Structure 1
Amino acid sequence: MKLTSIPRTWRHLRRYNQVIRILLKYGFDDVVDAASKDLILRFGKSFIPRPKSIKKLGASRAERLRKAIEELGPTFIKMGQILSMRPDIIPPEIAYEFQKLQDDVAPIPFEEIEKVIRDELKSDPYKIFPEINKEPLAAASIAQVHRAKLKEGKDIVLKVQRPSARAIIDVDIEILSDLARILNKYFQEKLNQDPAAILDEFDKSIHRELDFIQEGKNISRFKRYFADDPTVFFPSYYSEYSTSNLLVMDYVDGIKASNIDMIEKAGLDRKEIAKRGTRLSFRQIFEFGFFHADPHSGNMMVLPGNVIAPLDFGMVGQIDEVTIDHLGDLIVGGIRKDIRRIIRAIEHLGIIDYTVDVNALKTDITKMIDNYYGVPLKELQLNILMNEFYELIQSYRLTLPPHLSLALKALLTAEGLGRLLYPEFDAVSELRPYLRKIIMRRYDPRRKFREGIILFDDLSLLAEELPKKTRTIINKAASGKFSIQFEHRNLESLVNELGKSSNRLSAALVISALIVGSSFVIQASIGPKLFGYPLIGIIGFILASVLGLKLIWDIFRSRKS
């Protein structure tokens, strides 16, 4: 135990006692017993009587854990909700239970909310907002939402951070840090992942949610991306009145997507809403790489004309163009039952590490995919397929990169929303156009041109630095400051391989130059043309392709030999 944690533990002794009492209450004696080996936690336990364990009542461990988290309060609930979006690192039964966690809490008095607004604006709030409804629209662990009006009569909402939210979260994260260390120390063989790493990810995520200025920027970014889409509405964000603890945005008057009865009474089209809701998520992920990370039915409003209006922009995910490509490959591989494409995708996505038996993984994926042979695509449910994939990932003790996991979870949540609204909803058909665009975008000449420039720049830098690095090594060796230990075995073959490597590097530079030069010629559209493209550019690309294939063949042949 770190000595620095002792005063911190004494400072939060009351909260420690409360956490241990609740863990004991719900039958997690093993965790508390392990904690008792830690001096500070043993001190907390010695002052707490052992209440009747709820595990004797027949509840499953996952259900008891969910109930304990609900009783432990907002920070633990938030962590449970985030973990429910990571079925690659927690068992499916626990992920299912965590999805039931609710972040509803009793509202705090309006006087406290009013004081926060006044402090943040540094002036009388009623000079800016003549009307502020004292009854909250919603009350959660981090913030409380009140309806208000601007001087010009515009309906808005004020999302006000609870005065104690940040302090409570910081205390609980310190306690969770100690618990993570204890879990890692005494339950390491039972854990798929490092609890400290999971907690670090949660810490960053929840502190991003505490920054309302960042949430406002997220709203503005979505609004800009979807400015041309009349089927989607994003509220305006008023940056001039917003702070890190106060968010001012348009009031959205609609029906929650989860309220099927109200949607039907309003005469709205459930099937069309399902399509638009999933298209919204698909476009965010596959076109922009910037997406709402939790698009469940409670965060989606439906406006007249079947218009979709998302809410709560604190949790977003972001993936780059390359990740989008490989994610598309993963999904296409699953839909087409293409094992090689799936393996290639998960390798490129960084899911597989050097410890994995790739052949065994390939066999297991083949068995999983075989279950879906003969199943029509319209009957294929992404959530079932992905849940089996998550179980497979866990069995190999692998982890998805956090934002990739969020993207997959957002896809599955969008499909779930579609099926909630329209049970016969076919998500795969809606997904097809976006997957097609990914493939087309990959072979876009403009993208290849950009990639060629980057490759040429990298190779040029390598060619520039290699002699300098070599000279440095030689100088160190000459001055006696360089030492290396090696066993001499077939050094001649090493020299030959170095010669081959130099030749390949030279060939790669020539190929890169041909690609870049041909791209410039095609962009400039000069000289004689063939099929509408400059002949010189076409010849350059053909020559680069031939040399590239020759280079690949030489590499393959040398590896085989």
Structure 2
Amino acid sequence: MAESYSYVNFRFGNNLDKVRRSRQIISVFFKFGLDYFLDRSRINLITRLRRRRKGYQKLSNAEKLRMAFEELGPTFIKFGQILSTRPDFLPPDYIHELEKLQDAVAPVEFEKIQEVIEKELQKPIPEVFKEFDEIPVASASLSQVHRAVLHNGKVVAVKIQKPDIQYTIELDISILETFANIIENRFPEGPVYHPTATVEELKKTIRKELDFLNEAYNFERFRTNFKEVDYIKIPEVHWDLTTVHLLTMEYIDGIKISEITQEKYRSQFDLQKIAKQAAEALFKQILLDGFFHADPHPGNLFIIPPNTIVMLDVGMTGHLDDQSLISIAKILRAINHRDFDQIVRGLQELGFIMQEVDKIALRHDIKELLDVYADRPYKTVSLARMNQDVMEISIRHKLALPSNFVMMIRAMSIAETIGKQLEPDFNMFEILKPLTRKMYLKLYSPRSWKKRTANMIDASVELIEHLPQNMYDLLEKLKEGQFEIHLEHHRLENLANEIKESSNHISMSLIIAALIIGSSIIVQQKIGPLIANVSLWGILGFVIAAIMGIGLLISSMQRKRRKR
């Protein structure tokens, strides 16, 4: 079996590939009129600008961004898809547009795919497979899937990573990191979430998706979590035929969940039951297992008649640890009791509040949000709309939403959308209530208390064990005068620079004033050599004062320009 995914430091063809690709990316951005956030002085070093096409001027910026990502290929399509899961990064119109990005692309010719398969398995295809379909059943930007039959008769799906895709993606990520730094330097007072953080998240997510062993482990974990749920089916992984770049799993034939509403399929499926079970499965993953499918869009959910749900493409997953689930339980209970202080404390425990916020204003906004939805019938409440309101509050108060929670919110919104497509009267909240009760029972069960008590005892014992040594070290430092307190200031550099510049300007102004006054006295008293009955020293003083005054004026104008 191949080694785990390697984060190679590519040389990118002595940087020539990077320069060419950078030029291509920038040209596409200019083509669609998306150059307003780039530093043209730097761009001109690596590209000649294309003239903007008039046909794109009528499109919205969100549409232009989607079309640019589509033209730039796999990395940017994946980048757009990841951005579409982050409504805390982008406004709703951008999210809606990027959700349209399609991952279906033309397949790679079979000869190249055959080379990858035989390199990964270190055997010719006929030795491993009795049959192997050369035409793929699906093709995406990173991989394509072929149907095959093993020599024991089992039908399998073989997912193969496209050749050289790792190089292409690492090259694009390297360029995106450079662009992100340029944008942050150009807009230093930008939003809470900076471009560099977005690119870093893209890097982590896409590298996970490139590691097919990671997806194989996810399948196994889901199989374990759903082993007692008969209406969920997870493909079985063939580990002896799975590597970092190749995943072999059980082939399951089914219909996409988005297609079962078609008239020709209606008699085969129980739509109401499927909608309910799909939502129950997602809430189980989030609230009970703490491990969930982060991209449960219709293309990743197949249905076998009458109501068996098949989970596919589990490369992108979210995780919630026990402490996070306990904090979520506290927030849900606080919402039920309208305890706004406890809600804020729960958000702090989850890491949403990372800096000083106006807690009074935050409590007020939370109260307003709950008042809007409190007395409505559940049928009239849209979870997607509620999630959008939550995001708006988060952005307004500059709350830091961990990516796992954003993925959780998006997954629930997708589940609600699918549910309403299958059943117009679908109600997510009615399904959520019993799962919430199960979560409480799990988190506060004797077994859970026993586990938490054991952890507390271990932590206390460790603290007591280290306390004497820590106290001794502290006293030794105090005795030797080595005890130091480090104070760290945040964002005071600008203030210090402002004070320094202002002090310099005041000093210069005083010197200029002194020169003018002194020169006036010298001219009046006719001191020193005279020219046309005017003191030469007085004239020289006025000239120096004028030069210094012009310099001070230029410096002030440059300072104002920098502030803008």
Interval of TM-score (by shorter of Structure 1 and Structure 2): 0.7 to 0.9
* Per-residue CA distance 1:436-461 (angstroms, 9 max, x = gap): 12222332233223222322332333
Do 2:33 and 2:52's aligned partners in 1 also have CA atoms closer than 8 Å?
no
After superposition, the Cα gap between the structure-2 partners of 1:336 and 1:429, relative to the gap in structure 1 and judged at 3 Å, is farther
Counterpart residue number, 2:480: 479
* 1:261 is the counterpart of 2:249: no
SS in 2 for 1:145: strand
Q: C-alpha displacement at 1:53, in angstroms? A: 5.0
Residues 194 and 484 of structure 1, relative CA distance in 2, 3 Å threshold: closer
In the alignment, does 2:468 pair up with 1:467? Answer: yes
Residue 304 of structure 2 aligns with an amino acid whose one-letter code is: L
Distance 1:273-1:338 versus aligned 2 partners, 3 A rule: farther
Task: Give distance in 2, aligned partners of 1:485 and 1:197.
Answer: 27
- Match of 2:41? 37
Q: CA deviation at 1:211?
A: 0.8
Deviation larger for 260-269 or 327-336: 327-336
Asked if the contact 1:89/1:399 (under 8 Å) is kept, the reply is no
Aligned positions of 1:75-90 closer than 5 A: 75-90=75-90
Deviation at 1:153, TM superposition (A): 1.6
Question: Whole-Å Cα distance in 2 between the matches of residues 436 and 327 of structure 1?
Answer: 13
Distance 1:222 1:263, change over 3 A: farther
1:441 matched to 2:442: yes
Q: CA contact under 8 A between 2:268 and 2:306: conserved in structure 1? A: no
Cα 1:6–1:178 change in 2 (3 A) is farther
User: For each residue in 1:481-529, what CA deviation from the matched residue of structure 2 results, as whole angstroms up to 9, or x when unmatched?
Assistant: 445699xxxxxxxxxxxxxxxxxxxxxxxxxxxxxxxxxxxxxxxxxxx
Q: Distance in 2 between matches of 1:239 and 1:474?
A: 57
Counterpart contact for 1:92–1:391, Cα < 8 Å: no
CA deviation string 1:284-330 (max 9, x = no partner): 11111111111111110000231000110111111111212223444
Q: Is the 8 A contact 1:210 1:244 kept in 2?
A: yes
Matched position secondary structure for 1:44: coil
Shift in CA distance, 53/400, structure 1 to aligned 2, threshold 3 Å: farther
Q: How many residues are paired up?
A: 477
Deviations, residues 163-196 of structure 1 (Å, cap 9, x unaligned): 0210110110011011110111112334331211
Query: What letter is aligned with 1:65?
Result: L
Structure 1, residues 304-363: CA drift from partner, whole Å, max 9, x if none?
A: 231000110111111111212223444565577653443232121110123111111111
Aligned-partner residue type, residue 410 of structure 2? K
The answer as to whether partners of 1:27 and 1:53 remain within 8 angstroms in 2 is: no
Q: Tell me the residue number matched to 1:275.
A: 276
1:379-390 aligned within 5 A: 379-390=380-391
> Is the deviation greater in 462-471 or in 217-226?
462-471
Tell me which amino acid in the other structure corresponds to 1:302.
I
Q: Which residue of the partner structure matches residue 243 of structure 2?
A: 243
Preserved contact between residue 339 and residue 366 of structure 1 (Cα < 8 Å): yes
Aligned partner of 1:133 in structure 2 is: 133
Query: Could you tell me which residue of structure 2 aligns to residue 418 of structure 1?
Result: 419
Paired residues of 2:148 and 2:158 also in contact (CA < 8 A): yes
Determine helix, strand or coil for the equivalent of 1:240.
Answer: helix
* Local SS of the residue matching 1:30: coil
Check 1:6–1:164 CA distance in 2 against 1; reply closer, same or farther (3 A cut).
closer
**C-alpha distance in structure 2 between counterparts of 1:223 and 1:436, whole Å:** 24
Distance in 2 (alpha carbons) for counterparts of 1:481 and 1:328: 46
5+ residue gaps, structure 2: 1-9, 488-564
Amino acid at match of 2:403: P
Q: Which moved more, 1:419-428 or 1:451-460?
A: 451-460
CA distance in 1, matches of 2:437, 2:14: 54
Identify if the C-alpha distance between structure 1 residues 484 and 284 changes in structure 2 by more than 3 Å, giving closer, same or farther: closer
Give the aligned partner of residue 71 of structure 1. Answer: 71
Tell me which structure has the larger Cα radius of gyration.
2
Long gaps (5+) in structure 1? 487-561
Q: Secondary structure at the match of 2:373?
A: coil
TM-score by length of 2: 0.80
For residue 56 of structure 1, what is the aligned residue in structure 2?
57
SS in 2 for 1:43: coil
Q: Using the alignment, how far apart are the partners of 1:399 and 1:5 within structure 2?
A: 35
1:130 deviation in Å? 1.5
Matched residue, 1:322: 323
Q: Which residue of 1 aligns with 2:28?
A: 22
After superposition, residues 470-549 of structure 1 pair within 5 angstroms as: 470-482=471-483
Which residue pairs with 2:511 in the alignment?
Answer: none
Q: Aligned partners of 1:8, 1:431: CA distance in 2, in Å?
A: 55
Q: CA deviation at 1:409?
A: 1.7
What whole-Å deviation, never above 9, does each CA across 1:517-556 have from its counterpart, x for those lacking one?
xxxxxxxxxxxxxxxxxxxxxxxxxxxxxxxxxxxxxxxx
Describe the SS at the equivalent of 2:309: strand
* Greater shift in the superposed pair: 64-73 or 442-451: 442-451
| AA in 2 matched with 1:44 | I
Measure the CA separation in 1 of the matches of 2:231 and 2:241. 28
Q: Distance in 2 between matches of 1:485 and 1:27?
A: 48
Change (3 A) 1:331 1:8: farther
Q: Report the Cα offset of residue 79 of structure 1.
A: 1.0
1:501 aligns to what?
none
Is 2:70–2:76's contact at 8 Å kept on the other side of the alignment?
A: yes
1:255 deviation in Å? 0.6
Aligned-partner Cα distance in 1 for 2:11–2:116 = 32
Q: CA RMSD in A?
A: 2.3
Q: Give 1:403's aligned residue.
A: 404
Whole-Å separation in 1 of the counterparts to 2:178 and 2:300: 33
Letter in 2 for 1:363: H
Do 1:55 and 1:61's aligned partners in 2 also have CA atoms closer than 8 Å? Answer: no
Q: Distance in 1 between matches of 2:20 and 2:485?
A: 57
SS in 1 for 2:353: coil
Distance 1:452 1:11, change over 3 A: same
- Structure 1 distance, partners of 2:343, 2:248, is 44
| Partners of 1:183 and 1:263 in 2: CA distance | 51
Which piece of structure 1 moves more, 321-330 or 346-355?
321-330
Q: State TM-score, norm by structure 1.
A: 0.81
Deviation per CA, 1:79-123: give whole Å up to 9, x if none: 111111111222222111111111111111111111111111111
1:24/1:53 contact within 8 Å kept: no
Q: Which amino acid aligns with 2:408?
A: A
Q: Is this contact kept in 1: 2:12–2:18, CA < 8 A?
A: no
CA distance in 2, matches of 1:424, 1:478: 73
Contact 2:354/2:400 (8 A) holds in 1: no
Cα pair distance change 1:331/1:101, threshold 3 Å: farther
